[in-house]
């Protein structure tokens, strides 16, 4: 009887240790992905579910590579600080590649490239020129590359008539302020503008700015979770398989699919050597 009890205890201990090991393995393969859930068509919540181009693409990469992601909705302005301080493992949304951010985070290879669009209210008489000058009040996303561009070139630039700027966390909220006249124009990426127009909001596009901004996913500086190789190879394989195009066209049916990996500026820290996973 005593031997049976010892055997049972040993089996129980082994089972508990096995469960603990399994739990640790699951935890090690689950990563926290920070998103801004008010940025369609790239990342948003609908019916309690995370959706969007970036969301679907990262889910597919995770499935193909045997790990899982848990999406965490954070304000746009807190995403890069959260990644830099290791509070999240991946930053998954539509995000410009910028040198300033690259000082504190590392980028995957670019998976998108876009120009900027200028929108005004549907009944506005403004052209692209008057929408960005002549004391216009211009809206854009808080903490974005557009905010910096407007501030550097239009607010602080050499224009004879300055503009003022209003920032928003949500493109739809900016569109609502266009309708009421609180602002005169907004600047967003062409794909965000296309999404707003597809929603039949009372806005119209008056022109575009040829910026060819590269977009990418990001991980913490020096890749603390060693995710860059799997993300980079996953992004490229997604494109080669045609699944990337399927995901994009799910949300932007008429969008042109740019080559992946996209342009990697050689003066950015992330691209000064061959990116992991592309060797």
Query: For the segment 248-269, what is each residue's pLDDT rounded down to a tens digit?
Result: 999 989 888 989 999 898 899 9
| 19 pLDDT higher than 60 | no
Contact present, 138 and 164 (Cβ < 8 Å): yes
Q: Enumerate residues 6+ apart whose C-beta is below 8 A from 267.
A: 99
**Are the CB atoms for 159 and 103 separated by under 8 Å?**
no
Give 160's pLDDT tier (boundaries 50, 70, 90): low
**43-84 pLDDT, tens digit each:** 999 999 999 999 999 999 999 999 999 999 999 889 999 999
- Nearest residue to 73 (alpha-carbon basis) of 86, 85, 59, 55: 55
Quote the Cα angle for 175-179-185, to 5°.
60
Half-sphere exposure of 41 (CA within 13 A, CB side): 23
Q: H-type helices in the chain, by residue range?
A: 2-28, 53-65, 76-84, 99-102, 128-131, 145-150, 171-180, 190-198, 228-241, 243-251
Contact criterion met (CB below 8 Å) for 55 and 92: yes
Q: Which residue segments constitute the domains of the chain, with CATH numbers given? A: 27-111+216-271 (3.40.190.10), 115-212 (3.40.190.10)
Question: What confidence tier does 159 reach under pLDDT thresholds 50, 70, 90?
Answer: low
Q: Tell me the three state secondary structure of residue 265.
A: coil
Q: Could you tell me the pTM of the whole model? A: 0.72
- CB within 8 Å of 197: residues ≥ 6 apart: 203, 204, 205
Q: What share of the chain is helix, strand, coil (3-state, %, to 5)?
A: 40, 25, 35
Task: Indicate whether 173 pLDDT > 60.
Answer: yes
């Amino acid at each position: 009887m005593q031997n049976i009890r010892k055997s049972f205890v040993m089996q129980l201990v082994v089972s508990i240790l096995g469960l603990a090991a399994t739990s640790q393995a699951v935890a090690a393969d689950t990563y926290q992905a920070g998103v801004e859930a008010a940025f369609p068509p790239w990342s948003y919540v609908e019916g309690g579910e995370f959706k969007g181009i970036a969301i679907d693409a990262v889910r597919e990469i995770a499935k193909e590579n045997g790990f899982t992601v848990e999406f965490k909705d954070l304000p746009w302005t807190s995403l890069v600080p959260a990644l830099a301080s290791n509070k999240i493992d991946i930053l998954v949304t539509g995000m410009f590649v910028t040198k300033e951010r690259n000082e504190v985070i590392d980028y995957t290879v670019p998976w998108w490239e876009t120009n900027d669009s200028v929108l005004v209210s549907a009944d506005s008489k403004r052209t692209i020129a008057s929408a960005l000058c002549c004391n216009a009040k211009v809206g854009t996303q808080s903490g974005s590359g557009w905010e910096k561009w407007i501030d550097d070139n239009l607010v602080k630039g050499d224009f004879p008539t300055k503009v003022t700027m209003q920032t928003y966390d949500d493109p739809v909220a900016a569109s609502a302020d266009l309708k009421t006249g609180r602002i005169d124009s907004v600047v967003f990426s062409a794909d965000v503008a296309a999404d707003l127009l597809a929603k039949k909001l009372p806005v119209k596009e008056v022109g575009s700015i040829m910026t060819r901004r590269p977009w990418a996913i990001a991980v913490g500086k020096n890749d603390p979770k060693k995710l860059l190789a799997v993300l980079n190879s996953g992004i490229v394989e997604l494109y080669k398989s045609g699944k990337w195009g399927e995901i994009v066209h799910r949300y932007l049916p008429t969008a042109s699919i740019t080559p992946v990996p996209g342009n990697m500026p050689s003066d950015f820290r992330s691209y000064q050597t061959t990116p992991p996973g592309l060797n």
